[in-house]
Amino acid sequence: MARIPPPGVYVPSPTFFKPLSPGAYQPEVDVTTQSEHSVFLAKNGVHGLVLLGSTGEAIHLNRKERKDLLSGVRKSLDEAGFPDYPIMAGVLVNAVDEALEWLQDSKDAGCQWGLVLAPGYFGGAASQQGLIEWYTTVADKSPIPILIYNYPGVTNGLLVTPESYEKLAAHPNIVGCKMSHGNVSYHVQVSTSPVIDHEKFRVYSGFGQQLGPIVTFNAAGVIDGLASFFPKTVVRLFELASKRPIDDAAINEARVLQYRVSRAEEYIGRWGILGIREGIYRVVGLGNLEGGRGPLRGKIPDSAWDEWAHVMKAMSEL
């Protein structure tokens, strides 16, 4: 039977890069800092990682860089006392053969699952039946279990429907999904569907502002960028939202934390990957403010972080 990812808070880690060297056309991947950040998250209660997803700029790395990053993080986690720590590896390509190549490389590097982006090059021209057939083919051949990754913002608006999830959830090598969109109804429909075996298919949201509501209705957790620099707060909110039975004290604390998390997520929504990098640099002390690879170079405006200072202060007051 395919291994099922545990519930909880996962961090979609940005890929760390070294400062741009004189004469170089792009910065080198910084596996050392990537590993330090991964160990920091593990030590602070985060339940797992997503490496080389959309936030991780996987499409800006070559094959060797991706393999070296995945294997380097796995080695560092093992050495830090976190053997078999959960890692989902992003798969962001449309061709089946290439997706399978990424999945094999992920397995070889020690990742337990592949987070496979819906093939959205053609956007709405892709039918739901076409999506079901594509994912079924990948799952049939994948050397590791996969999760469906639906992020309409990077796939020309392509949306996987609850009915498609219900059909795909029956595949023995498809063990969950990540929905990175604001349709809470889709989250709830899939996480409560009576035709899905929820012990074998986990539902995660890409938005921490949805954590409390969706976990209340049986979702497995979140894959959330804010937790990359405020892990303890987001993890605490998950613990409260998933508590059964839940008492009044837990409900009241969860309400306070959900408000703080939702406010801070507005910062992520405004500044995206560059905002996440800024947060990690300022709060955790890792990375730099040169950005990623083109076109995601640079940093947020100097005054932008200060505008959110009161929100970030509240996030740190756990």
Task: Please work out, in degrees rounded to the nearest 5, the angle formed at the alpha carbon of residue 177 by the alpha carbons of 284 and 79.
Answer: 40
Answer for the pair 173, 145: CB distance below 8 angstroms, yes or no.
Answer: yes
- The answer to whether the beta carbons of residues 58 and 66 sit under 8 Å apart is yes
Q: Is 267 a residue of the active site? A: no
- Residue 189 burial (CB count, 10 A): 18
**Is 18 in the active site?**
no
User: 10, 149, 165, 204: which one is catalytic?
Assistant: 149
Dist. CA 246–CA 243, nearest whole Å: 5
Phi (first) and psi of residue 272, to 5 degrees? 60, -140
Q: Which of 135, 165, 178, 204 is catalytic?
A: 178
Contact status, residue 225 vs residue 12, Cβ threshold 8 Å: yes
Strand partners, 29: 17
Under 8 Å between Cβ of 151 and 181: yes
Q: Which residues carry out catalysis?
A: 149, 178
